[in-house]
Amino acid sequence: MTTLTISPVGATLDELRAPFRGPVTVTLGDDAIDAIERGHRVITDAIANGDVIYGVNTGFGKLADRRISAEDLEELQRRLIASHMVGVGDPLSAEVVRATMLVKVLCLSQGHSGVRRSIVDTLVAMLNNDILPVVPSQGSVGASGDLAPLSHLVGAMTGLGTVMIGGEEKESTEALRSIGLEPVVLGPKEGVALINGTQVSTALALRGLFLAENVFNAAIAAGALTMEATAGRPTALDDRIQRIRRQPGQIRAAAALRALVAESGVLATEFDGRRLQDPYSLRCMPQVMGASLDLLEHAATVLERESNAVSDNPLMFPEDGVILSGGNFHGQPVAFAADTIAMALCEIGSLSERRTAMLMDASMSGLAPFLVEGAGLNSGFLMAQVTSAALVAENRSKAFPASVDSIPTSAGQEDHVSMATHAGARLAGMARNAAYVVAIELMAAAQGSDLRSKGADAPALARVYAAVRDRSEFLAEDRVLAGEMETIAADILSGRYAEHGSIGLAGLGDAPAPTTPSPTTPSPTTPGDDGPATRELWTSGAA
């Protein structure tokens, strides 16, 4: 179990991975505790002064002009949560709820939300005991915060709704008491602070980002294996070509591909009929995969910032003694980031499917039709490529940007919304589709390697080949492939091929500095022996 210390400085992307791997333990640092207490004093002082504060002694949204009496301030917060528990649909997954809770703790711990420390302590205790509220997945438009899903999360803190604990669904009050807690009674501003914010959208987008990273690395490995299986031209991977394009993702993608095909005797050997130039699906791998990497890198930076952001309203500024109302709850940055992840996933899968199609075509690959001897009696990988094409088409339909599809709510008060929650929610399905597509290419490329050279020749590719063959044997005659496709796709999503792609997202960290090509840059006809652009993953702190 990962242990994290929470401070106003924030969390790194490496730390934000933790809730997606399993239960986490968090502790509040002294600086976080001090910030929370100073922020709460701003609210108590303002109430004592008789100030009118949105969401504290007023109604909400279009009802902000309605004053609330002092004796009803706690009741206002209770009714806020109850009235906003209107989510529908299947519950969010355990890892998304866990990540949402962590990101909410990060937000509250910066001292701009005005909540009591006891509120944060309750959220921390639930997280540490893996008491996860049952949160419906639908009902948020990603502005004014993820109001409906966060209300279900907060409702569990107050004794409303149910939670999952130890794999069982229980009434929230029962679960809280099992760890020595009573349901909280929300004080002034606390309900607003807890349900305003982009934490659900951000958690969904982070899940999509981490899955996309795994798919990306598997696709790099698959593309390299296909290049060798089809006797492609490694000239297109030459570092000198990439450097003058100046695109950092392209430079990194090409370096990873070069490392995988390095020392390949297959690629270094000329023969009659070898193509002078490869189709774009091979020749432009650095350009397309590199552009996808740049999108993922940008999304990682935005989501790391957002995970460490204060996104509720109104906001306390203890150093100035003021309360300011704004719109930090609007999810547009998250929506845009999620949309770019969707675009990257779509293109990663699209390029992979084209390489699989090339492997099927004997006139292009130089291999047996549909990668099987005795084609006709055997169909080989013919239908596997059809499945791949179907999945690519499905992802294209899902890649339409959610961020441009605003719909007004709250009697026009909330007249522009981000749809960030929807943008993030569809990413897991897209990543799964893309993983299937890449799994099919890996199987086809391994088959092609067997047909061409009795297995992968380059040392790094031999390890990729072995990982595929661990799950899927050589196809001597037709058999059911669906189960093998499922298993390899699961390996991809779990990160088994991450070491082969060797590319990790930097987030807010510094990207590798481009270097001037040296005289030892590989020749156009020989695969390079320089390694991938590797470095410690997720090392950056929050800005």
Q: How confident is the model at residue 61 (pLDDT cuts 50, 70, 90)?
A: confident
Q: Does any domain span residue 529?
A: no
pLDDT the model gives residue 187: 94
| Any domain includes 509 | no
Which residue out of 54, 280, 436, 465 is catalytically annotated?
A: 54
192 and 209 co-located in one domain: no
Domain end position, chosen among 165, 197, 229: 197
Do 96 and 224 share a domain, yes or no? no
Together in a domain, 168 and 268: no
Is residue 407 over pLDDT 90?
A: no
Domain boundary among 197, 220, 246: 197
Q: Which two tokens mark 494?
A: 């779990």
Could you tell me the residue range of the domain that residue 467 belongs to? 205-311+337-410+423-501
Question: Do 267 and 186 belong to one domain?
Answer: no
- CA separation for the pair 495, 300 (Å, rounded): 17
Angle formed by the axes of helices 427-453 and 382-398, nearest 10°: 150
- 75-127 tens-digit pLDDT: 999 999 999 999 999 999 999 999 999 999 999 999 999 999 999 999 999 99
CA distance 219 to 296: 14
Helix (H) or strand (E) holding 28: strand 24-28
- In this structure, the answer to whether residues 212 and 189 fall within a common structural domain is no
Check: CB of residue 323 under 8 Å from CB of residue 53: yes
- Look at residues 179, 197, 215 and tell me which one is the last residue of a structural domain: 197
Q: Is residue 25 part of a domain?
A: yes
110 and 47 in a single domain? The answer is yes
DSSP helix/strand/coil, 155 = helix
Closest CA to 200 of 155, 245, 136: 136
Tokens of 408: 């007004």
Q: Which of 141-145, 237-241, 418-422 is predicted most confidently? A: 237-241
Do residues 74 and 210 share a domain? Answer: no
pLDDT digits (tens, 9 = 90+) for 135-159: 999 999 988 889 999 999 999 999 9
Whether 6 and 136 map to the same domain: the answer is yes
Q: Same domain, yes or no, for 135 and 260?
A: no
Q: What span, in angstroms and rounded, lies between the C-alpha atoms of 233 and 230?
A: 9
173 and 232 belong to one structural domain: no
Instruction: Say if 151 falls within a structural domain.
Output: yes
**What's the CATH number where 161 sits?**
1.10.275.10
Number of domains observed in the structure of the chain: 2
Number of CB atoms found within 10 A of residue 233's CB: 18
Average pLDDT over residues 10-33: 96
Tell me how far apart the alpha carbons of residues 94 and 16 are, in angstroms, rounded to a whole number. Answer: 15
Angle of CA points 229, 233, 238, to nearest 5°: 125
**Is 362 domain-assigned?**
yes
Residue 354 sits in the same domain as residue 240: yes
Inform me whether the pLDDT recorded for 461 exceeds 50.
yes
- How far apart are the C-alpha atoms of 341 and 206, rounded to whole Å? 10
280 labelled catalytic: no
Distance CA 352, CA 219 (A): 7
pLDDT of residue 221 exceeding 50:
yes
- pLDDT tier for residue 7 given thresholds of 50, 70 and 90: very high
> What CATH number did the domain enclosing 255 receive?
1.20.200.10
In a domain, 52, yes or no: yes
Task: Decide if 152 contacts 202 (C-beta within 8 A).
Answer: no
Q: Is 541 a member of any domain?
A: no
- Decide: 352 and 222 in contact? Cβ < 8 Å: yes
Same-domain check for residues 166 and 303: no
Residue 239 lies in a domain: yes
